[in-house]
Amino acid sequence: MQSALSITESGKVKPATPAGSNHGPKPGQKGITMQFVNLTPHALSVRDEDGQTVVFQASGTVARVAVRTETLPSLAGFRLQSQSFGQVENLPEPKADTVYIVSALVLAQCKDRNDVVAPDTGKDAIRENGQIVAVLGFVR
C-alpha cells in the first residue's frame, strides 16, 4: 500500500488523501504528490510539524538485508554467532516522486540511494511505556 502526500512550494508535506478527504496543496499553491511506500512489516506513525499524525501502512513487501550467520564456539555456556550482511532484498528500483521507508539496517546498506529513508527512532521519538508509538520524521 502506498501513501500519497502533497508537498507544497513552501516544503510543507500534507497527506493527499487522509481518511477519504483530498488534503493536497491549498488552492493557489503549487505542489507535487509524493508517494511513500512503507517497506517495513508494520504501520508507521509520523507526526508532522503541525502535530498531525500520518500513518504509513505496511505495503506487504518487506525490504531486508541478507544475513549470513556462522556458529562460533559458545561463550560461557551461551550460544555465540557471527553475522555478516549481504545484499538488500525486495527494494524496488528508484521511481520518480517515490520514497521508500525501510529499516535502519536496510538504510545503512543504501547510502547511494536518495529515495530511501528510515524512521527517526532517536531520542525525540514518541514513546508510551517504553515503546515507540510515533516518530517526528525520517533519517537518510
The pLDDT tens digits along the chain (140 residues) read 556 555 544 445 555 443 322 234 444 545 678 899 999 999 999 998 888 999 999 999 999 999 999 999 999 999 999 999 999 999 999 999 999 999 999 999 999 999 999 999 999 999 999 999 999 999 99
Q: Where are the domains of the chain?
A: 2-63+89-139
pTM: 0.76
User: Among 91, 67, 71, which Cα is nearest to 79's?
Assistant: 71
Task: Kindly tell me the number of DSSP H helices and DSSP E strands found in the chain.
Answer: 1, 12
108 φ/ψ sector (left φ>0, alpha ψ -120 to 50, else beta): alpha
Q: Which three cell numbers stand for residue 98?
A: 517515490
